[in-house]
Structure 1
Amino acid sequence: MTIEKPLVLDVDGTFLRTDMLYENFWAGLGAAPVKTLVACVRHIRNPAMLKAELARIAPIRTDLLPVNPEIAELALQCRLGGREVVLASASDNTQVARLSADYGLSEHVFASDGVSNLKGGAKAQALVEAYGEGGFDYAGNSSVDMPIWEKAENALVVGHVPSARALAADGRNVVEFPGGWELRALFKAMRPHQWVKNVLLLLPLLASHRFEMATLVPILWGMAAFSLAASAIYICNDLLDLEADRLHPTKCRRPFASGEVPISVGMVAMAALSAGALLIAIGLSAGFLLVTLLYMALSLAYSLKLKRMRWVDVTMLAALYTIRVVAGASAAAVEVSIYMLIFIFPIFLTLGCVKRITELSKANGDERLPGRGYGRGELADLRNVAGIGIVGALVIFLLYSVSDQGLSLYPTTWLLWLAMVPMAVWMVRMVNLAWHGRQDYDPIVFALRDPLGLGLLMLILSLMFWAAGLWQQWFG
């Protein structure tokens, strides 16, 4: 009876659509950022030790990692046919062994052990010692796998590896499998639909009635800077939330959680987007640069820790929305009223609660949201806090309408009072839609796409323009 040669699979980028080193790094940043960064600095010259240390700091759930469907199907067919399927990886052996057990593959694995980094030539030598030259088939995805393919009987190439063409030219049997990533998936990870939230930078322009190009153009540049900064933070947030997203019914399809885009590509994109945002900010003003840095720092703190703290997270969401308004004022050198900031903060606090109410309303079970501090038991409390935000915003708006600044900008006070009716209806409606699970996961994005809600907002704005005498000024 002839025993078939084993099929040896590389892990990172071959069997998996991700890289366990980067998975560990970001899991470590989320769980123990200081320990993770210290380990990276201390072991940067010793990859095997670095991988072992990161695996100890933040073990990852290997059963949740995205697999390459074609390679996983091949492994399954080989197993069913009685052929041994072996994992061989430069990742740490504890995790490779766990991954192999998750999928019922061979107990015998080849991996880094904290001393030796099993990569390239070292992996080829280990496989030859175990199976002999030509005694195995090997699947890989990188030019670093060339020494191993040269020792294997059959070379299975995942993705586009130009150097593998030399194997076919030498008459070796090469089987190609699809792989790689697409630019549109990275663009999706940047969440361009979220850029609409940066219309909040226009609020100081509207409130001050400064409708001239000298005010508008800097704000548009500011919106571009905040869009780039927001995309960088969204990528960072997704990389920190990989495990939580994979446990979510819809977020599991996000580009990094699903393996559509490599984590390393996301890290490069995040750095480039951050640099672009800061370059624009420097070109606008020192004040706008400081506001941009504050926004990015708070967003990073939110992603790392604060979003997991109950009640702190909705307060931070409100603060991040409010900073956009401050940024608009800073970009155009427009004075922002303290009344305006005090008025919009409770509105944004309400919208932060709406975001969490929506997530809980759409959740499948009663357990706490992955990576968040809320369960269904907090639904009523979130609705109550949202209600407090609504009342607070209306009271502050009423006080503003009779203040010296309010009377100077909006002399027809009763029209401001009338605008409070659609304002209250809009906010109550947002909470009600969230309570019944009919909201988007981001309330600002939903508000800018909701026809009825937009109608209410336009009515509020029209009444405020009327109260300010702008309609008469523009149209006589």
Structure 2
Amino acid sequence: MTERPLVLDVDGTYLKTDLLMENFWAGLGTDPLRTLGLSFALWRRPERLKAALAEVAELQMDLMPVHEDIAAMAAEAVSEGRDVVLASASNEALVRELAEYKDLPETILASTSEVNLKGAAKAGALVDAFGEGGFDYAGNAPVDAKVWAHAHTAIMVGAQPKVAANLIAEGKQVIEVEGGWAWRDLIRAFRPHQYVKNILLFLPVIAAHDFTLATLMWVLLGIASFSAAASSIYVVNDLLDLEADRLHATKCNRPFASGAVPIAVGMAGCIGLGIFALGVAACLGAAFFGVIVLYMVLSLAYSLKLKRMRWVDVATLASLYTLRVVAGAAASAVSVSVYMLIFIFPIFLTLGCVKRLTELAHVETDARLPGRGYGRLDRPDLLNVAGLGVFGAVLIFFLYSFSEHAMGLYPTRWILWLTLPFIAFWLIRMVQIGWRGEMDYDPIVFALRDKIGIGVLCFTLSLMFYAAGLWAEWFGV
């Protein structure tokens, strides 16, 4: 049995996350202006930045995702009587708090407001403390090669074949531990299953009965831009919701909350998606570009603040859904009736309430949901607002049928009125399913997978096409 201490890096090694990044995003959720100000002012002085951000927001260390193999290695070392030391470039106060919450020995080496304990600085501190080759060191990043060069045994989390080969050539013992991240997890963080919501961009084309190939191609480009923009916001939302997701029964498995994907990788993906979305939007014209920018700004405001505000959040959700319809009109250059926008808003308001009803359906306490402004006691009020949305949507559609726009598009208006019970049935059914908690956490995604609901929507759409005379035009019936 060796008496050499086992020295563990924290970020990406003992933890499957990075405390500085955790602190940055927790700070954005708590005090965004102060966090951004400190980040811009101190980015060249990382040791001071880490100390400053540690004072902005508290981190729940007990929720931090741990690398199980490294934790087991540490537990085995403790059982053998070896010293276990956390040596991290993260701020000293955070590392000490982590050691306390994870029941680790209190011996730590970490960054202060004067020293950034990283790379050569960390190697020097460890050699001063334990001597050349007097410790085993576990790390995960290329910069850790400067520490491994002075360690007896290099414990390498994640594949670094060139670094490992060089260390072995120098006579070092190398132990490789599985780590790193996978592209499939990053793609999962982009939530591609949510792209089905962007089918809403086709609504203006369907309402205007403009089915030319050129129009459809412009809308498809718009969907690509909107999908990339939405994914970039999903990443931001997940990074702001790390703590709330870790407290959730299923959301704790999301890529960033679980540590499957590093926060820095997610940030890079977010920036890339945002650039792509804005680039395609610029090609589609000023109107579409403006809608995309408005969507991204409103989504950021929702992630940072609005989703925590009771009732404001469902109104914002309805607005974000409505913007997809406006975006479809801008991409295809099809004019949208004001009635249509007024009609779809209460529908989306109802679906926003359904989303919250679904989340609250299985809550067992009266406490508000983490990161939300609602608790179980708000369910009756949400149900009432959803009911008002159903009534408002049906009433506005009925009034629309008397407008000049409707008269021009739908010669046989009495058939148009037959759609009203089906619209009401579809919405009421969605509310009932949400009240019972029998759908996933996005009603639009659920609606586009629900066979009964799709059947009702298709039948309703066929009645509208018949009222417009399209069946007769296309098929002679």
CA contact (8 A) 2:299 2:320 kept: yes
Report the equivalent of 2:117: 118
Report the equivalent of 1:52: 51
Report the equivalent of 1:148: 147
* Residue identity opposite 1:121 in structure 2: A
Shift of the alpha carbon at 1:164? 2.9
Report the equivalent of 2:35: 36
Correspondence 1:123-134 to 2 at 5 A: 123-134=122-133
Distance, in Å, in 1 between the alignment partners of 2:112 and 2:156 is 26
Distance, in Å, in 2 between the alignment partners of 1:261 and 1:450 is 31
Report the equivalent of 1:357: 357
Shift of the alpha carbon at 1:129? 1.6
Correspondence 1:49-88 to 2 at 5 A: 49-88=48-87
1:16 pairs with 2:15:
yes
Distance, in Å, in 2 between the alignment partners of 1:229 and 1:199 is 15
Correspondence 1:420-459 to 2 at 5 A: 420-459=420-459
Q: Secondary structure at the match of 2:87?
A: strand
Distance, in Å, in 2 between the alignment partners of 1:365 and 1:253 is 22
Superposed CA offset, 1:149-171 (max 9, x none): 12211111111223232111122
Correspondence 1:298-447 to 2 at 5 A: 298-447=298-447
Distance, in Å, in 2 between the alignment partners of 1:393 and 1:114 is 58
Shift of the alpha carbon at 1:61? 1.1
Mean CA deviation greater in 463-472 or 339-348: 463-472
Distance, in Å, in 2 between the alignment partners of 1:68 and 1:117 is 24
Report the equivalent of 1:470: 470
* Residue identity opposite 2:196 in structure 1: V
Distance, in Å, in 2 between the alignment partners of 1:165 and 1:141 is 15
Distance, in Å, in 1 between the alignment partners of 2:364 and 2:64 is 22
Distance, in Å, in 1 between the alignment partners of 2:122 and 2:364 is 44
Distance, in Å, in 1 between the alignment partners of 2:159 and 2:196 is 36
Superposed CA offset, 1:249-276 (max 9, x none): 1000000111111111111110110111
CA contact (8 A) 2:87 2:110 kept: yes
Q: Secondary structure at the match of 1:423?
A: helix
1:95 pairs with 2:91:
no
Distance, in Å, in 2 between the alignment partners of 1:150 and 1:278 is 45
* Residue identity opposite 1:48 in structure 2: E
* Residue identity opposite 1:253 in structure 2: N
Q: Unpaired segments of 5 or more residues in structure 1?
A: none
CA contact (8 A) 1:143 1:164 kept: no
Distance, in Å, in 2 between the alignment partners of 1:286 and 1:457 is 33
Distance, in Å, in 1 between the alignment partners of 2:148 and 2:366 is 50
Distance, in Å, in 1 between the alignment partners of 2:461 and 2:89 is 60
Superposed CA offset, 1:192-248 (max 9, x none): 000000000000001111111121111110011000000000011111111111111
Correspondence 1:266-277 to 2 at 5 A: 266-277=266-277
Shift of the alpha carbon at 1:402? 1.5
Distance, in Å, in 2 between the alignment partners of 1:392 and 1:143 is 60
Report the equivalent of 1:230: 230
Distance, in Å, in 1 between the alignment partners of 2:186 and 2:345 is 33
Mean CA deviation greater in 149-158 or 173-182: 149-158
Mean CA deviation greater in 339-348 or 73-82: 73-82
Shift of the alpha carbon at 1:123? 0.9
Superposed CA offset, 1:276-310 (max 9, x none): 11111111111111111111111111111101111
CA contact (8 A) 1:84 1:105 kept: no
CA contact (8 A) 2:84 2:107 kept: no
* Residue identity opposite 1:181 in structure 2: W
Shift of the alpha carbon at 1:82? 2.3
Q: Percent identity?
A: 59
Q: Secondary structure at the match of 1:56?
A: coil
Q: TM-score, normalised by structure 2?
A: 0.98
Shift of the alpha carbon at 1:379? 0.4
Distance, in Å, in 2 between the alignment partners of 1:438 and 1:289 is 37
Distance, in Å, in 2 between the alignment partners of 1:106 and 1:394 is 65
Report the equivalent of 1:221: 221
Shift of the alpha carbon at 1:363? 2.9
Superposed CA offset, 1:134-191 (max 9, x none): 2211101112112221221111111122323211112211111011111111110000
Q: Secondary structure at the match of 2:40?
A: helix
CA contact (8 A) 2:315 2:349 kept: yes
* Residue identity opposite 2:370 in structure 1: P
Correspondence 1:102-251 to 2 at 5 A: 102-161=101-160, 162-251=162-251
Report the equivalent of 1:461: 461
CA contact (8 A) 2:7 2:84 kept: yes
Distance, in Å, in 2 between the alignment partners of 1:105 and 1:34 is 35
Q: Secondary structure at the match of 2:154?
A: strand
Distance, in Å, in 2 between the alignment partners of 1:101 and 1:135 is 25
Superposed CA offset, 1:34-77 (max 9, x none): 00011011111111000010111012111111111110111112
CA contact (8 A) 2:156 2:175 kept: yes
Superposed CA offset, 1:437-476 (max 9, x none): 1011000000000000000100110111111111111110
CA contact (8 A) 2:329 2:335 kept: yes
* Residue identity opposite 1:175 in structure 2: I
Q: Secondary structure at the match of 1:166?
A: helix
Superposed CA offset, 1:52-110 (max 9, x none): 10111012111111111110111112222222211100000111001111122111110
RMSD value, Cα: 1.1
Distance, in Å, in 2 between the alignment partners of 1:364 and 1:205 is 44
Distance, in Å, in 1 between the alignment partners of 2:114 and 2:60 is 23
* Residue identity opposite 2:389 in structure 1: G
Q: Secondary structure at the match of 1:8?
A: strand
Distance, in Å, in 1 between the alignment partners of 2:18 and 2:142 is 16
Distance, in Å, in 1 between the alignment partners of 2:424 and 2:459 is 12
CA contact (8 A) 1:400 1:406 kept: yes
Shift of the alpha carbon at 1:362? 2.8
Distance, in Å, in 2 between the alignment partners of 1:75 and 1:234 is 35
